[in-house]
Amino acid sequence: MAAKEDAPLAALRALRAHLIKGKPVEVEGEDLVFRDASGSELRRLPKHSPTAYHSKKLDKSYDLLAVYTCFKHADLSFSDYVLKCREDKAAMVSTVDKKELVAFLKGDIDSSPQILDASGKPTADSGEKDRKTTTKKTRDPEDEARAAKKRRLAQEKENHRHKHGESHKTPQELKQDEQMKRITDRECVNRTRTTVLDAHKTKFDNVVKTLELVNAETKEKIEKASKASALMATTTARKEQLPLHRLVKEKILGTPIIVVPAGFSDLFTMLNAKDFLEDGVYVSNMQKKADGHRKQQSMMITHEEDGHVYTFKIVDTVNRFRDKDWRSVVGVIVSGQSWQFKGWKWKFPLEVFKKVCGVYIYNQGSQLNPEIKQWDVKVLMIHPDKRHLDKVAAKEFWRYLFAFIKHKLQEIQTITGKQQALDTRISAIYSVDTTKLGGKLMLPSHRVVENLSALGLAPEY
């Protein structure tokens, strides 16, 4: 019975010991598998087994999968950690519990008040281990050095005794041992490896002079770099003021893509999307089918905005999309169901709408899907009978879509311009051409690529 009660504590300690050794842990089905360095299985525990680590706020224990997922993704931001928990189907460790749990699993601390036994009390060794740690830290350095030397000599003596036997020692050797023992007992440590690092000087004039010289040289290089980057800054400012039609042409690879729902029961599909987006008229799917229209795999539509004509590609499936196609997706008409985004590059709707403009259109009088309220999408309504209101909804669709596209492309323009100015400044300071290496063009800075990827429009190499 006792073993069963201590199972949560045993599971937590087993996982901690395995992680401290740096050995791999894998999730296989409903189990958490502990492996050695060669990949052989050492142990297998149910991944939803409760552990002895409890939450401060909710007063509940975390299971093995939650504890391991927290450790595995300890370096991620909170939002990315939440996404990983959803992806791994693991319970999320609260922010107030996360820091101490990770420290315990890494071995930085030996115990925690949140580790409770079967009776709901802190484990018995918590207080004792804390007291031992405090005593060890407050011990005088000289005492530690003296004790360490005594332990070393005693160990050497013990090893010698086990190896050769006490009877092999001559009377002279035994006398020498006694003399050495009297010496070490009266020994006083003069300096330790800590005190030897203490500096006797209080002024470091030579170091200060060297530092001032380096600062002066760096300042001179920065001033020269500022003049060299003035032209680049002007060019960047001009690029930030580019009109929308220029931004679309220069920053979007290929034809911009709008994705519509694929279900026949949806309000808008490949059958009637063109009528609404081009002419501002809603025609039901049933009517289009009765008129003999068939669904196409893709189609092109045009729209005029501020005196410029834009071309868009309409599709309802993304199964064969490549990276180039994903970077061209600018909008999606939402059906209201999360399964619409199955097979997308981004796994969750919340992540999709950071990259792509989302619009949800519904009939007046129909019930609004609850999920829509949690998504960052534009909600539009059409009347089932008043067709003259369709044009108003279509106009609002285009206004919102172009505002979204302009905002995203200007962000890219700003990031690219700042990076170009930074590269110019670095080149001037360090006399290094950051755009060429061995006669070949270098790829952009990894930070720029990450920022562009976050916007969904990273450059194609």
pLDDT at 125: 54
123 and 254 fall within a common domain: no
Q: State the average pLDDT over residues 107-128.
A: 75
Higher confidence at residue 142 or residue 361? 361
Instruction: Give the Cα separation of 61 and 418 in Å (integer).
Output: 48
Q: Tell me whether residue 76 is in a domain.
A: yes
Helix, strand, coil percentages, rounded to 5, for the chain: 50, 15, 35
Decide which of 374, 395, 410 is a domain's last residue: 410
Q: Give me 213's structure tokens.
A: 């010289």
Mean pLDDT comparison of 88-97, 151-160, 435-444, highest-scoring range: 88-97
C-beta separation of 25 from 34 below 8 A: yes
Instruction: Give the Cα separation of 245 and 311 in Å (integer).
Output: 11
Q: State the average pLDDT over residues 195-220.
A: 80
Compute, in degrees rounded to 10, the torsion defined by CA atoms 240, 241, 242, 243. 130
Alpha carbon separation from 315 to 123, 221, 373 (Å, rounded): 60, 53, 25
Q: State the average pLDDT over residues 71-75.
A: 91
Q: Across-strand partners of 35?
A: 41
151 and 79 fall within a common domain: no
If one counts every other C-beta atom within 10 angstroms of the C-beta of residue 227, the result is 9
18 and 149 fall within a common domain: no
- Give the phi and the psi of residue 199 in degrees, each rounded to 5: -95, 140
152 and 102 fall within a common domain: no
pLDDT digits 0-9 by tens, 292-309: 999 899 999 999 998 899
pLDDT band at 163 (very low <50, low <70, confident <90, very high): low
- CATH at 291: 3.40.50.11990
181 and 319 fall within a common domain: no
281 and 336 fall within a common domain: yes
pLDDT band at 117 (very low <50, low <70, confident <90, very high): confident
Q: Tell me whether residue 201 is in a domain.
A: no
pLDDT at 373: 86
Q: Tell me whether residue 263 is in a domain.
A: yes
Q: Tell me whether residue 447 is in a domain.
A: no
Decide which of 365, 394, 410 is a domain's last residue: 410
pLDDT band at 189 (very low <50, low <70, confident <90, very high): confident
Of the listed ranges 155-164, 217-226, 430-439, the least confidently predicted one is 430-439
Q: Tell me whether residue 459 is in a domain.
A: no
30 and 100 fall within a common domain: yes
pLDDT band at 191 (very low <50, low <70, confident <90, very high): confident
Q: Tell me whether residue 75 is in a domain.
A: yes
30 and 155 fall within a common domain: no
Decide which of 410, 433, 454 is a domain's last residue: 410
* Full residue range of the structural domain in which residue 80 is found: 2-135
Q: Tell me whether residue 452 is in a domain.
A: no
Q: Tell me whether residue 425 is in a domain.
A: no
100 and 150 fall within a common domain: no
150 and 248 fall within a common domain: no
354 and 301 fall within a common domain: yes
389 and 317 fall within a common domain: yes
pLDDT at 59: 74
Question: What is the number of domains present in the chain?
Answer: 3
